[in-house]
Structure 1
Amino acid sequence: MNAEALNAPSPLDWQALHDLNGKVAGVFKSLAIDKRRLPASQLTKRGIPAYVAEWVLESVVPGQGELSTEEATKVRDWAARVIPGPGEQNIIKHRLAQGQTVKVLTPLQAEVRLKKGKEPERVAQLSLLGIGDAYIADALLEDYPDLLRHGMWGVVELGSLQDGVAVLSFKPMQASVNLKLYKEARRQFSLHEWRALLLTSLGFDPEAFTEWQQTLLLCRLLPLVQKNMHLMELAPKGTGKSFTFENISPKVRLISGGNISPAVLFVNNANGQWGLLARFSVVVLDEVQTARFEKPEEIVGGLKGYLANGKLTRGGLHETASDCGFVILANISLDDQQRPLRELLVEELPAFLQETAFLDRIRALLPGWQLPKLSSKLLVGPDSALTMGLKSDFFGDALIALRDDLEAESYAARNVHLAGDKPYRRNEESVRAIAAGLMKIQFPHGELSPLDFHRYCVKPALQLRQLIWDQLYTLDSEYRQYEHGIRVQ
């Protein structure tokens, strides 16, 4: 990426972005929200992600425009009653012990425990309350099967029984996605208007980024729209690598540091409980240098198999298929020109993650060092021109729904062929997958010119895969029998 392309300004000026507010509100109606309302509510300070906080806003104080003082007070009063604070676990348990009914906004996860010679036991876990064995009715699990997969956010009504706590009712946070309407809505916008809308929906101010930086931010969405899209982002601290993933969807699981074991990722052989890669659409390892990996050789061995064929297994005892995307976020050091200090970009990763057989299965490397450090100036605020975006819960579900739309894959397969005497097969597969993903993100309606496909889908795909290929080319002479520069015919 040359300096001119890196520094090309945002394609839409302030007035064009400002005028876009009316179109967004008119086309998406109740599915759009003024993104200034969320920071003013201070809901995220209570430890809930944006996709939940915006649902709360629409439930408690529906409306458009900036959040008024009265609305802010109303939503904070509601939050104080319903969203448990970090020090309120024992107070809630005390109220339950006294026979009171308690309503809380919390993630709810359920599991069925099978024991030989005993009736199946259905239990619910409420992590915010420190409750791991609440009773839950079979009817709730029938109505909301996602409780058994990755859990759901919602308002839970709890009551006390003689021998424990029970979930009495559950009002889930749900957004209904009509992909046909989403695609039809795209036809109402130009490409640059649509890109600006996507960025605003993520909470970013599109005017604060160059066109290439906007593309990099949109590339973070690739694992949501593409099955088995595995990528890595390297950047210095403070660039907001995890910002998108922690606020986009309950089907995305972010792991920041802590202990990571084969049982957590793959399957617990002791009880047959499937791990995160089987239960979520995207799993993100954040701050990978600070994580503590138990049995790293087993983890990287399992990952190599999973990233190659989408099958999860551990020791041959259990096996299942998954389309979960796997994302690694890691910090790197920069020089005084804000470029990577080391020629080998992956050198600062844990040694077992530098294996070429593992890196080869990562589709793309995002150069996060080309993005500015995250600050309030980069986010939607009082001075932003475009403040209307898609509600986070609807937006996240729409992106994940695009995984099952295979038109972009077919288009990429027909139109992406690597040039050269000896192109490498995984490079071609990766470029096609990235290009198809960028087509889904930017052209979900499938209407684009060959020129647009090349500029906005293929070109970035080549650059992101080239960064992975450069690592492989440097680390292992086996790869040097193939073309070094990745080009298309």
Structure 2
Amino acid sequence: MADEEHMEKTMDKDSGEPEETAANEIPVMNDLDRKVTAEFADYTVRKDLVSKVKGNALVPSYVLEYLLGKHVTTTDEISVQAGVDRVRATLADNYVHREEANLIQSKIREKGRYNVIDKVQVALNERLDQYEATFENLGISRVVVDSQTVKNNPKLMVTGIWCMCALVYAYSGDSKDVPWRLQRLMPVQMSHDDRENYLAMREKFTADEWIDLLMQSVGFNPDLFGKRAKLLHLVRMIPFVERNYNLIELGPKGTGKSHIYSEFSPHGMLISGGEVTAAKLFVNNTSGQIGLVGYWDTVAFDEFAGKTKKADRALVDIMKNYMANKSFSRGRNTMQAEASMVFVGNTSHNVPYMLKNSDLFEELPAQYHDPAFLDRIHYYLPGWEFEQIRSEMFTRGYGFVVDYLAEILHNLRNVDYGSAFERYFTLSPTLSTRDKDGVRKTFSGLMKLIYPSGEATMDEMEPLLRCAIEGRKRVKDQLCRIDSTMAEVDFSYTRVGAAEPTAVQTLEEIEYPELYWRDGHHRSDDAEEPSSAAGEPAERIGEPAGKSTDAERSGRSTQTVAVEAASVTTQQSPEPATQPKLNRIERAAAAAREGRLSYAEDQRGVTYDKLFGAFVAGARNITIVDPYIRLFYQIRNYAEFLETVFNYTERTEEVHVHLVTKHADDQHIDNQIASLNQVRDAFGQLGIIVTYEFSDTAHDRYIESDTGWIVTLGRGLDIFQQYDASWLSPMARKQQLRKVKEFNVIYQRDRSAEPHALH
């Protein structure tokens, strides 16, 4: 036991964990940053400054960038720091924290006049025939607002907007009178259209540079994303630039699905999926006042998924009509609006599980899991393709002040590039009108984001068209699974002058052809063998994993490998012709044997796949008890064990792995929990449901699987000697190249448990 304690102290410093960048380190400007700040000097901001000034102020990013855009207009570090200090001072003095509301009220009273930053909503007091404002954080209401202010800012009447306000305290002596007076109200958003300058500046950037600039503008480091990932991120922005665009994104937690709709634009509204009524969303029959769709460019429904959620059937019907026709009616009048609809939610299962057992819309409430509703979706954004947000993914470079970019996109909604591709490409004639509308609207949105002038070559348009077709195809293919009466459609296009059309496939169709089509007409029976890190096929565990040849043993004669395998006699007999062929996981499981294996110090060729693969093959529930999963390198061992679980289990089934370990010491406990959570989140996206618990009494080390095996681990997972853990070293990726410590492993059948049948 002392050996493990010593190793914890000595190996953590060699864990290969990436070093953190100093918080006060000045970022180095690259070519794109220099170009951006030269061409758009008045409308750019260094994106990492937002987190520096935000503190505990619960304000959207566009509010902070509005302030930064006013005070930080240079790249000189001294001036930047001075501007940041001014913004911090503005927030400290004027932003209203709810818990400090009484203090700010007192300041207004004592000083007579005071500036505040708060979210303001206005309502008409019909009894007094006057508009009255409520300040959300300040906690005051019935503040009189003049009619002109309301006319200039109609969103004040809906859900409110963030404003910089000058408030005056004037007590009249009348207890019924409100002493608060609004002297000035300035919304935190731009008020002019700079499109002409924007289009002129765009011509000075290549398409790749412009895409990277847009990525930096929404806060991401473009260097960490591939071309496809960047394009999918831009799809999230289409609802801000395209009228009446219907987008759905379902995927794992923590991928930033809703962030852009709450933080990116003052023209977007994010609401909880269960907290909206027909009156609030469309029109109030009592007052005749139009709802959210009449005031916002984008209305996004957060947490939209959830099978148990209930939805108002009347709301769903109105929504279907609006999504199809851009109009809605409640009562006698029919109204029109331009708001785009976005639906974001979390999935509970991975893609192959959903494809095998249901469809990619399975998480939606029953009222929305309706072909008539889903057919109105223009694009299904595959949330499972987005990585979980990590700190290193955020940019430290320059991008547009989001409020500036949001205003540009708002004004580009008047433009339509939906038919621009038709000079070069022809869509398949089998596409329905709704299919074509979905493709055209997505293509138009991408064009306005990347080529806002509307001019692009055939080669530049083609990836945008493919992306647009894929998103609508994902919707239609799932509809065919849900509604058997719906005919499949040929999602292809033909280039001008080409003899044959070009087919478009979704990525999950390519990755899981045997699951994607329920009738199996695209099914492939070819299956790869499970392999270890070196690519060896799974072995029978009647012999030691990594057993050496005579030539190899002669090369290290000073070492011995003791193997005490249980005597298991099997009689081979020809398989009957009618016996079904085993799949790769069943073949791996059939190789498992009871026995004991011993490994010598400095032996190589040992991998987790060889040690454990056959004994977890086909498992759905695995428990691993190891008190020493504490430090980074030990948690890395655990992650590599989970890779073995991934290799030897079905992706169409969820696999639950539960870890029992001990707490790290006070110095490492926070890193232990953070790393275990990171492992949990990473493998959760792959269908490996990871849980863990801490037990101060845990001592033995073993793996127990519902396949009926118990593997007793002499050293736990900590079998490898120290090695070069940098990613430049092959030992970081190839377990069989590492030297091991001396250890034993015992394999036993769990006679008290009946293993589940493999399917």
TM-score range, shorter chain: 0.7 to 0.9
Deviation of 1:86 after TM superposition, in Å, equals 2.5
2:39 is the alignment partner of 1:21: no
Question: Aligned with 1:228: secondary structure?
Answer: coil
User: Given residue 459 of structure 1, which amino acid in structure 2 is its aligned partner?
Assistant: R
Q: 1:394 to 1:339 in 2, by over 3 A?
A: farther
Deviation of 1:330 after TM superposition, in Å, equals 0.9
Alpha-carbon separation, structure 1, partners of 2:398 and 2:72: 17
1:56 paired residue number: 67
Residues 169-190 of structure 1, C-alpha deviations (whole Å, 9 max, x = no match):
1233232332111111111011
- Does the 8 Å contact 1:177/1:394 carry over to 2? no
Residues 239-295 of structure 1, C-alpha deviations (whole Å, 9 max, x = no match):
010121222111100113552222221222232232212221100001113699775
- Does the 8 Å contact 1:184/1:445 carry over to 2? no
User: Given residue 285 of structure 2, which amino acid in structure 1 is its aligned partner?
Assistant: N
2:263 is the alignment partner of 1:247: yes
1:5 paired residue number: none
**Structure 2, unaligned runs of 5 or more:** 1-27, 495-759
1:370 paired residue number: 385
2:493 paired residue number: 488
Task: Spell out the pairing of 1:44-83 with structure 2 (5 A cutoff).
Answer: 45-64=56-75, 71-83=83-95
TM-score if structure 1 supplies the norm length? 0.86
**Structure 1, unaligned runs of 5 or more:** 1-15, 382-386
Alpha-carbon separation, structure 2, partners of 1:194 and 1:251: 22
- Does the 8 Å contact 2:247/2:379 carry over to 1? yes
Alpha-carbon separation, structure 2, partners of 1:438 and 1:347: 28
Question: Aligned with 1:267: secondary structure?
Answer: coil
2:404 is the alignment partner of 1:394: yes
Question: Aligned with 1:185: secondary structure?
Answer: helix
Residues 400-439 of structure 1, C-alpha deviations (whole Å, 9 max, x = no match):
1110123x1342466564314x331210111111111111
- Does the 8 Å contact 1:101/1:159 carry over to 2? yes
2:466 is the alignment partner of 1:459: yes
TM-score if structure 2 supplies the norm length? 0.57
User: Given residue 188 of structure 1, which amino acid in structure 2 is its aligned partner?
Assistant: K
User: Given residue 401 of structure 2, which amino acid in structure 1 is its aligned partner?
Assistant: K
User: Given residue 484 of structure 2, which amino acid in structure 1 is its aligned partner?
Assistant: S
Alpha-carbon separation, structure 1, partners of 2:117 and 2:42: 22
- Does the 8 Å contact 2:154/2:295 carry over to 1? no
What's the Cα RMSD here?
A: 2.7
Alpha-carbon separation, structure 2, partners of 1:359 and 1:200: 32
Alpha-carbon separation, structure 1, partners of 2:247 and 2:203: 30
Q: 1:415 to 1:355 in 2, by over 3 A?
A: farther
Alpha-carbon separation, structure 2, partners of 1:344 and 1:292: 17
User: Given residue 298 of structure 2, which amino acid in structure 1 is its aligned partner?
Assistant: V
2:324 paired residue number: 308
Larger relative contact order (C-alpha < 8 A, sep ≥ 6)?
1
Question: Aligned with 1:46: secondary structure?
Answer: coil
- Does the 8 Å contact 2:268/2:297 carry over to 1? yes
1:224 paired residue number: 240
Question: Aligned with 2:287: secondary structure?
Answer: coil
User: Given residue 223 of structure 1, which amino acid in structure 2 is its aligned partner?
Assistant: P
2:143 is the alignment partner of 1:134: yes
Alpha-carbon separation, structure 1, partners of 2:309 and 2:354: 29
Deviation of 1:62 after TM superposition, in Å, equals 4.2
Task: Spell out the pairing of 1:80-119 with structure 2 (5 A cutoff).
Answer: 80-96=92-108, 100-113=112-125, 115=126
Q: 1:17 to 1:104 in 2, by over 3 A?
A: closer
1:443 paired residue number: 451
Q: 1:97 to 1:373 in 2, by over 3 A?
A: same
Residues 77-114 of structure 1, C-alpha deviations (whole Å, 9 max, x = no match):
3211100112122333455566832311123333445x
Q: 1:56 to 1:22 in 2, by over 3 A?
A: same
Alpha-carbon separation, structure 1, partners of 2:408 and 2:84: 28
Percent of aligned pairs with the same amino acid:
29
Alpha-carbon separation, structure 2, partners of 1:139 and 1:475: 52
Task: Spell out the pairing of 1:260-275 with structure 2 (5 A cutoff).
Answer: 260-275=276-291
Deviation of 1:451 after TM superposition, in Å, equals 1.9
Q: 1:357 to 1:343 in 2, by over 3 A?
A: same
1:259 paired residue number: 275
Deviation of 1:364 after TM superposition, in Å, equals 0.5
1:168 paired residue number: 183
Q: 1:362 to 1:144 in 2, by over 3 A?
A: same
Q: 1:429 to 1:335 in 2, by over 3 A?
A: closer
- Does the 8 Å contact 1:233/1:241 carry over to 2? yes
Residues 288-339 of structure 1, C-alpha deviations (whole Å, 9 max, x = no match):
136997752011111001101111322x244321010000001113449899
Alpha-carbon separation, structure 1, partners of 2:346 and 2:65: 30
- Does the 8 Å contact 1:106/1:154 carry over to 2? yes
Residues 326-362 of structure 1, C-alpha deviations (whole Å, 9 max, x = no match):
0000111344989977550111111111111000011
Alpha-carbon separation, structure 2, partners of 1:336 and 1:309: 32
Aligned length: 459
Alpha-carbon separation, structure 1, partners of 2:392 and 2:114: 40
- Does the 8 Å contact 1:431/1:461 carry over to 2? yes
2:598 paired residue number: none
Alpha-carbon separation, structure 2, partners of 1:441 and 1:63: 26
